[in-house]
A and B are shown apart, each in its own frame.
Chain A
Amino acid sequence: MSYKAKFKVWRGEGGEGKLEDFTVEVNEGEVVLDIIHRLQATQAPDLAVRWNCKAGKCGSCSMEINGKPRLGCMTRMSTFSEDETITVTPMRTFPVIKDLVTDVSYNYQKAREVQSFTPPSSVRPGEYRMKQVDVERSQEFRKCIECFMCNNVCHVIRDHEENKTNFSGPRFLMRIAELDMHPYDVADRQDAAQEEHGLGYCNITKCCTEVCPEHIKITDNALIPMKERVVDRRYDPLVWLGNKIFRRGDNGK
Chain B
Amino acid sequence: MENTHNTERHEYDVVVIGAGGAGLRAAIEARQQGKRTAIVCKSLFGKAHTVMAEGGAAAAMGNVNPDDNWMVHFRDTMRGGKFLNNWRMAELHAKEAPDRVWELEAWGALFDRTKDGKISQRNFGGHEYPRLAHVGDRTGLELIRTLQQRVVALQQEDYETHGDYEAYIKVFAECTVTRLLKDGDAISGAFGYWRESGNFVLFDAPTVVLATGGIGKSYVVTSNSWEYTGDGHALALLAGAKLINMEFIQFHPTGMVWPPSVRGILVTESVRGDGGVLRNSDGKRFMFDYIPEVFRDKYATTEEEGDRWYTDQANNRRPPELLPRDEVARAINSEVKAGRGSPQGGVFLDVSTRLPAEEIKKRLPSMHHQFKELADVDITAEPMQVGPTCHYIMGGVEVDADTGAAAVPGLFAAGEVSGGMHGSNRLGGNSLSDLLVFGRRAGAGAAAYVDALKSRPKVLPEQVTEAREEALAPLGHTGENPYEVHHELQRTMNDLVGIIRKSEEVAEALEVVEKLKERVRLVGAAGSAVYNPGWHLAIDLRNMVLVSECVARAALIREESRGGHTRDDFPEMSPEWRRRLLVCSTQDGSAVEVEERLQPGMRDDLITLFDRDELKKYLTDEEMAEFDGIAKS
Contacts and interface: CB of A to CB of B under 8 A. Distances in A.
B117 A119 contact: no
Given A34-B261, A142-B135, A57 B52 contact: yes
B165 interface: yes
Nearest to B117: A129
Nearest to B159: A112
Interface in A9-52: 13, 27-31, 34, 40-41, 45-52
B108 A116 contact: yes
Contacts of A116: 108, 149, 152-153, 156
A50 to B, nearest CB: 7
B102 A112 contact: no
A58 B52 contact: yes
Interface in B524-554: 525-528, 530-535
A29 B258 contact: yes
Interface in B189-236: 196, 225-227
A46 B533 contact: yes
B49 interface: yes
A99 B530 CA distance: 10
Given A112-B155, A125-B99, A48 B110 contact: no
Interface stretch (A131-139, A155-163, A200-208, A244-252): A131-139
B44 interface: yes
Interface string B169-198: 000000000000000000000000000100
Interface string A110-127: 011001110100011110
Contact of B153 (A13, A117, A124, A128): A117
B133 to A, nearest CB: 12
B17 to A, nearest CB: 17
A76 B110 contact: no
B96 to A, nearest CB: 12
Nearest to B142: A142
A176 to B, nearest CB: 13
Nearest to B173: A108
A123 to B, nearest CB: 8
A167 to B, nearest CB: 19
Interface stretch (B69-77, B272-280, B284-292, B367-375): B367-375
Contact of A46 (B45, B46, B103, B535): B535
A165 to B, nearest CB: 17
Nearest to A185: B108
A30 B528 CA distance: 29
A119 B110 CA distance: 13
A69 interface: no
A131 B117 contact: yes
Nearest to A143: B138
Interface in A41-90: 41, 45-60, 74, 76
A139 B120 CA distance: 14
A52 B227 CA distance: 7
Interface in B223-273: 225-227, 258-262, 265-266
Interface in B47-70: 47, 49, 51-52
A144 to B, nearest CB: 8
Contact of A132 (B47, B112, B138): B112
A98 interface: yes
Nearest to A144: B145
Contact of A53 (B49, B165, B535): B49
A197 interface: no
Nearest to B264: A54
B51 A139 contact: no
B113 interface: yes
A61 to B, nearest CB: 10
Contact of A40 (B103, B105, B117, B483): B483
Interface in B85-143: 98-99, 102-103, 105-108, 110, 112-113, 116-118, 120, 135-136, 138, 141-142
B366 interface: yes
A13 B529 CA distance: 12
Nearest to A124: B106
B370 A119 contact: no
Most B Cβ at <10 Å: residue of A56, A58, A117, A145: A58
A129 B265 contact: no
Given A45-B526, A119-B106, A112 B135 contact: no
Contact of A52 (B103, B225, B526): B225
A130 B106 contact: no
B102 A98 contact: no
Contacts of B112: 132, 135
A74 B373 contact: yes
B51 A128 contact: no
B261 A101 contact: no
A60 B533 contact: no
A123 B98 CA distance: 16
B259 A45 contact: no
A182 B149 CA distance: 15
Most B Cβ at <10 Å: residue of A13, A101, A123, A128: A128
Contact of A145 (B108, B136, B141): B141
B494 interface: no
Contact of A98 (B375, B525, B531, B535): B531
Contacts of B526: 45-46
B156 A55 contact: no
Given A27-B261, A58-B52, A142-B142, A53 B225 contact: yes
Nearest to A123: B106
B533 A129 contact: no
B145 A56 contact: no
Contact of A57 (B135, B261, B366, B483): B366
A131 B135 CA distance: 14
A128 B106 contact: yes
Nearest to A103: B196
B261 A29 contact: yes
Interface in A217-244: none
A138 B112 CA distance: 11
Given A40-B483, A60-B43, A31 B107 contact: no
Contacts of A108: 45
Contacts of B116: 129
B51 A57 contact: yes
Given A31-B374, A46-B525, A54 B258 contact: no
B481 interface: yes
B227 A57 contact: no
B533 A55 contact: no
A97 interface: yes
B152 A48 contact: no
Contacts of A40: 483, 533-534
Contact of B374 (A28, A55, A117, A138): A55
A210 interface: no
Contact of B534 (A45, A50, A123): A45
Nearest to A104: B44
20 contacts: A29-B260, A29-B375, A40-B534, A45-B527, A48-B533, A52-B43, A56-B374, A57-B52, A58-B43, A58-B47, A59-B47, A60-B47, A116-B108, A116-B149, A117-B153, A119-B106, A126-B105, A129-B118, A132-B112, A138-B110
Interface of A: 13, 27-31, 34, 40-41, 45-60, 74, 76, 97-99, 101, 104, 108, 111-112, 115-117, 119, 123-126, 128-132, 135, 138-139, 142-146, 179, 182
Given A29-B259, A116-B108, 7 more contacts: A29-B260, A52-B47, A53-B49, A53-B225, A54-B225, A108-B45, A139-B110
